[in-house]
Structures are given as structure tokens and as C-alpha cells.
Amino acid sequence: MDKSLELLMEIRDGIYNMTLSMNDLRNSVENLQGDGLYDTISDANQKLDEVNQNLNDIKGNGLYNSVSDVCEKLDDVASKLTSIDFNTM
């Protein structure tokens, strides 16, 4: 059971790190945005905004639809498993 819990926590941490990396990438591209000759960078930035909006739409607001909801549920599972271990001792 501990191995499963560790695996779930690693998955949660990986998702969190990917989210941070995506935000850093988006900020870097926004800093590159320009005018005139660099309109293609501006177009790329608009496409990234569209992708970001699509990701936000995918996350949704339902009970288990967002990454943050999944992370919260994993934390709940971890605390409940810990309390079960303490109660059985």
C-alpha cells in the first residue's frame, strides 16, 4: 500500500512540475513577442494562448476534472491511508 501511495504522490509531483514548466515556457514566449518583422513570434504567442485556453477548458470545474482536484484527492487518499494504518495498530 505504501508503494501505491508513493507512486501516486510521484505522479502528483510530476504533474505539478509539468504545470510549472508550461507556465515558464508561456512567459518566455510572451517576452519574445514583437511587432513588424517579428509578427510570426506574435502569431506563435497567439497559438500558445489558444492552446492554453484549450487546456483550461479540458481541466473544467467538475469534481475530478482538474489537475488540482486530482492532487487534492491524492492528498486525501494519503491522509486516509495513514489514519487507517494508525487505527489498525
Q: What is the reported pLDDT for 75?
A: 79
Dihedral of CA atoms 78, 83, 85, 89 in degrees, nearest 10, equals 170
Instruction: Give the model confidence (pLDDT) of 1-35 as tens digits.
Output: 788 888 888 888 888 888 888 888 888 777 766 55
Q: What is the reported pLDDT for 67?
A: 67
Amino acid in the structure at residue 6: E
pTM of the full structure:
0.38
**Are the C-beta atoms of 66 and 59 separated by less than 8 Å?**
yes
Instruction: Give the model confidence (pLDDT) of 41-85 as tens digits.
Output: 677 778 888 887 777 766 666 555 566 667 777 778 877 777 776
